[in-house]
Every structure is written in C-alpha cells, then in structure tokens.
Structure 1
Amino acid sequence: MADGAATFVLIHGGGSTSWDWHLVEPVLRELGHEVIAVDLPIEDAANGVSEYADAVVAACEGRPNLAVVAHSWGGLVAPIVCSRVESELLVLVTAMVPAPGEPPNDWWAATGFSDLQFPEVEDAFYNGVPAALAEECTARGREQTGERDGEPSPLKAWPEVPTRFLLCRDDLFFPPLFMRGVVRDRLGFAPDEIDGGHMIALARPRELAERLHRYWAELPR
C-alpha cells in the first residue's frame, strides 16, 4: 500500500450486494488505493444495523487509513462503523442520513420522504445505467428482511470523522431538492453534487471514484 493511500471501505445499499461497486473498485486501485467492498448480512432476520456495522468492522480489521463510503440505505450503517473503528473519512453517496438513536423504519417519515410525490417513471433507481448492468444488479439483489428495523439505532452521536455528502443531480429516488434539505438539517452543511442518478456507481464509476480520491487527497495531513 503506497504512502498516503486510503483503504476505501464500500457499503452497498438496501437489498443489494458489494457487486454494486465492481466498476468503482478498479479505478480506486488504479489511483493507488486499497478497496474492501462488504456484503452486509441482510438476509438473516436476526441481524439489524448494529450487526451490519459489525460485519464491516470485521472486514476492515487491521487495515490502515480507512475511508468509509456508503450508498443509499448503507448510510444508516456507515456512521455506526465509524464510531467503532478508527476512520479518516466518511462519505455518504446519495445516502440516508440517520439521526442518533433513530430506528431505520422511522427515517422515511421523519425526513419527509414519505410525503414526497414522485413522477411516474419506469425505474427510479437505474436512470442513466446501461440496461445490461441494471438487469444484472436486479438479478443479484437479495432479500433484506428488515425484521429489526423498528429498533433504535445504536448510534449515540455523529462520529468525529470528516464527513462528505455527495448528492446525485439526476437522482429520481432521493430527489436533489429533498436531499439538500436532509443534509442541511441533519449534517449542518450543504452537500457536494455530481451528475448521475441513484445508482451512480454503475452509471458513472470513474467520476465517482475520482471524486472519492479527491476527498481523500484534500484531507489535511
């Protein structure tokens, strides 16, 4: 591992897999970083966000210079990870932003998402993603039981880790206007923005990887 490089820890969204990041991973490695993409144990009804976070912590045990990156539902897991393992950076990519102690099921109503009116579109997730990739991602999807999503999150406070939020301007699932408000209210700053839809890691993997690399390079040393 080169001096000054990160270990990027990539957390997928709800009902999905680490495959979501398979186009981002080689670009990050090309840029000199190590990469760990974790499959959350979402199919076991005995697990909740705390156990999901434990799985991520176990996967990156002993690795240096951790940069934790989460997409979509994975945003509920990432800050718990950063509260349990020493991390240098936390990046939320069009992700849910939890409040301390908030049950995952409560997020939708608490943020106002449940009140949104959506235009009729064929697929709010995959706009901008090549059809073959969208089909494979859907085929690889896993059942996320959500049995324990009504329980309070173990997150006690936002971790003291430099945090960035990357909003996707073409996102039809988490619309930009809505997410700008969530980030302002819950994190206290304005998000960064990038072109692309909700599944940015499949639609624009190089642009995403280069943005993650830039966030790491901009950290004070």
Structure 2
Amino acid sequence: MATYVLIHGAGSDSWYWHLVVPELRARGHDVVAPDLPCGDDAAGFPEYAETVLEAIRAHTGRTGRTDGAVDGGLVLVAQSLAGFTAPLVCARIPVDLLVMVAAMVPSPGESAGEWWDNTGQTQAQRELDEREGRPAGEFDEMATFLHDVPPAVVEELLSRKSPGQSGTPFAAPWPLTAWPAVPTRFLLCRDDRFLPAPFLRRVVRDRLGIVPDEMDGGHLPALVRPKELAERLEAYRAGLAASS
C-alpha cells in the first residue's frame, strides 16, 4: 500500500480530488488530500507546505527528513500552482515520487508572480486563445478551466463556496536553491487552455530536463478523467518500483 498525497491548485480545496480519491483507495492505497490555506493573507508557500506536512504526519507519523519509508512509498501529486508547494515538502520529508500534473515549475529565487512572464505563459495562452477564436486577455472561467468538465460536476463546483486565493504566495521568491533530489514525473494535458501543451513541453524540458507524459483533456483532469488519472499515477509508481 502506498500513500498518495494530493495537493490542489490555486483558489481550490481538497474537493478537487474527490473523484480521484476513491479510485486510488479502491486500488488499496491510503490517500491524504489536505486543504491549503488559499484564502489566508498570512500564508505563503512555506505555510502551504507546512499544511501538507501536518496532514502527512497525521496519517503516517512521519515527522522529518530522516524518517523511515512509508510502506509502499509516499507519492506527492501536485496540480497547477501546487508545483511551487510540493518541492518544499520534498525538501522536508522523504518522498518516493513527485508527480506534477498540469503544474507550474518554479526556478530558484523566482516568485509565482514573476513566473508568468519569465516562462512566457501569458503570451502562450494569448496565442492559443487567438488561434482558437476566443477573446484574448479576458478571464473566463468556463472557457479556460471548465470547458470539458461534465455539466453535473460544474454545477456542483459552482454551488460550493470558493476559499478564494490570496496574493501572498505570489510575492515571495521561491526559497529552494535547486529542485529536490526526488524522482519526478510530469503529466500535461493536451487540451489545456491555461498552460498550453507546447508551452509546458518547453518549460518542463528547460526546467526539469525531462520529457513530459501527456493525456487528453483540459487543465482539471481530476474532475474530467479521474479513472485515467489514477491509472497514470499508478503506472508511474509501479514503474519506479520496478526500476529500483
């Protein structure tokens, strides 16, 4: 049995993973899906990481970098903005595998606010919108994030109170001096309108030195293809175990 730690993105909560959690548990694994303090102006990425660590401690008893391994391994899964948080967790506690899903990849000393222009995300999204006939530069949640999410899931999502997203995490430099020494996999979504696939292929190559895996769908695969996403995660975990 592995322990999967699922870290949601900006302005969200653990509900984002509610369709993936039963898929992983049905395969015999433990799942930890913490709620990050997204709406708290006093919380930045160090506080986000501490929230994840507290959830891991509560489930596994792990307390620090030298703790022994969890039976079956500890797998962190980071969605979108959680790409800034998950490596901080890996620097604090032994992690067997980090899986980045449609995630932002930070560089040392770079703030999340600087990330957009540093990577070219703003221009990449604008160009994609223009090619596909959408108004460029206008925020449209349905068009950008929910275009392929099933209507019943969209209805449930919109009926829930959003925690909001504080600007605090976007201001401070990312504190690590290098990517943590943990096996890392990246899964991008070919129909992502927020982090377009050609853009992410370049960012992942340049910043992680790996070739990303790919699946169909938009920016929120856990709400659209939860079974496929769980299968992908399991394949990464199994592949790592087989190579060790």
Per the normalisation by structure 2, the TM-score is 0.85
Query: Which segment drifts farther, 197-206 or 130-139?
Result: 130-139
3-state SS, counterpart of residue 95 of structure 2: coil
The aligned residue for residue 138 of structure 2 is: none
Number of equivalences: 217
Q: Which runs of 5+ in 1 are unaligned?
A: none
3-state SS, counterpart of residue 199 of structure 2: helix
3-state SS, counterpart of residue 16 of structure 2: helix
Query: Which segment drifts farther, 148-157 or 209-218?
Result: 148-157
Q: Report deviation, 1:136.
A: 2.4
Alignment partner for residue 199 of structure 1, among 212, 220, 225? 220
Q: Distance in 1 between matches of 2:215 and 2:5?
A: 20
Query: Which segment drifts farther, 122-131 or 80-89?
Result: 122-131
3-state SS, counterpart of residue 24 of structure 2: helix
1:146-191 CA-to-partner distances (Å, cap 9, x unmatched) read 1242111122210111000001111111110111011011101110
Q: Which runs of 5+ in 2 are unaligned?
A: 63-69, 136-141
Name the CA shift for 1:87/1:98 in 2 (closer, same or farther; >3 Å). same
**CA RMSD of the aligned region, Å?**
1.4
**1:137 and 2:157 are equivalent in the alignment:** yes
Alignment partner for residue 152 of structure 1, among 164, 173, 182? 173
**1:87 and 2:108 are equivalent in the alignment:** no
Instruction: In structure 1, give the amino acid aligned to 2:224.
Output: A
Alignment partner for residue 45 of structure 2, among 45, 49, 72? 49
Segments of 4+ moved more than 4 angstroms: none
Matching of residues 66-77 of structure 1 within 5 Å: 66-77=74-85
Matching of residues 168-179 of structure 1 within 5 Å: 168-179=189-200
Larger radius of gyration: 2
Q: Report deviation, 1:56.
A: 0.3
Q: Distance in 1 between matches of 2:187 and 2:30?
A: 21
The aligned residue for residue 190 of structure 1 is: 211
Higher normalized helix content (fraction of residues): 2
Q: Distance in 2 between matches of 1:148 and 1:180?
A: 25
